[in-house]
Amino acid sequence: MAEANSQHFLPEVSVVVPVYNGEEDLPALIECLRSQTYPAQKVEYLIVDNNSRDRTAAIVQQAAEESDAIALRLLHETDIQSSYAARNTGIRATNREFIAFTDADCRPEPNWLLSLIQGFVKPNVGIVVGEIFALPGKTVLEQHAQRENTLSQKHTLAHPFCPYGQTANLAIRRQAFAEVGLFRAYLTTGGDADICWRILRETNWTLEFAETAIVKHRHRSTLQELQSQWRRYGKSNSYLHELHGVELMRQFDRREYFYRWSRWLLKELPTSTLKAIVGKATLVDMVSTPIGLFCVRARSRGQREAQLPEKARQIDKL
């Protein structure tokens, strides 16, 4: 099959967005969807409400009824509480060949979808991964995550086991789902890596990185949110270890924690404080190590506590 001309490669696309209690994020997300430069007549936006207890469904329904600019549909996933089950509901609701994914707390830039779909101009590409940047943050925790590029796809694309893309900015060819099955509906985390690895390791489809396909993501602003995020990462490590045999994250012992805290107190903090006095460091520089250790501890806890649901082993067919 000859490679298509990217300037004329504008296939019909479905964009699937799972939402749980997203009333605060949805208005801004929907405005971003309305601002997409991809031809509106070739895109349908499927917002899948996953048993929300707030006004999520009402907001999407109203936007769908009032919008002439884009095709917006409200779907429901009420049987399984999982963003992956919600994505599967969106996949089943469309027969289009290209399916893009993002999340309610993301803000796709206007050229996001156009740049993302251009990755499929090569007929052997089954997965296209876009980049994730941080929305401007005001808190120290947000600024730390932004400086560390915590959500950048460059981290997941460099995974030592196999590259993958996060579903905050990901597109998959429908035929790939037909060959390996859908997302594992009962997984609560790690499903993005799992689907990409199944496609890349079990088929001949390849992955493309569309660096200019950008979404911006809201980072966690409280310690509780940050702890929940990194515990989920730890659970993901454990689940993927059971499903694919990837190595578990090394656990820090008390001696290592003590060494790192002591180094911070005795060396890093005094140095960064002096730099801050002369304007060459910020509060984020001063507390970077404690935040990092907090995240490591939360991730370790999540990895220890994780128990893979038996139903998560099953893969539903398209």
For every one of its 318 residues, what pLDDT tens digit does the chain have, with 9 covering 90 and above?
345 556 689 999 999 999 999 999 999 999 999 999 999 999 999 999 999 999 999 999 999 998 778 999 999 999 999 999 999 999 999 999 999 999 999 999 999 999 999 999 999 999 999 999 988 878 888 888 888 888 899 999 999 999 999 999 999 999 999 999 999 999 999 999 999 999 999 999 999 999 999 999 987 888 998 899 899 999 999 999 999 999 998 889 999 999 999 999 999 999 999 988 988 888 888 999 999 999 999 999 999 999 999 999 999 999
User: Which of 158-169 are b and which e, b meaning 16 or more Cβ less than 10 Å from the residue's Cβ?
Assistant: eeeebbbbbbbb
Strand-pair category, 43-49 with 106-108: unpaired
Rounded Cα gap, residues 311 and 313, in angstroms: 5
Q: What are phi and psi of 165, to 5 degrees?
A: -120, 145
| Type of residue numbered 260 | R
pLDDT at 1: 39
Q: Which two tokens stand for residue 22?
A: 């997203």
Instruction: State residue 7's pLDDT score.
Output: 65
What is the C-alpha separation between 80 and 311, in angstroms, rounded? 11
Distances (CA, A) of 31 to 51, 241, 243: 23, 39, 38
pLDDT at 5: 57
Reported pTM: 0.91
Residue 86 pLDDT: 98
- Whole-angstrom Cα distance, residue 114 to residue 239? 33
**Structural tokens at position 69:** 């600019």
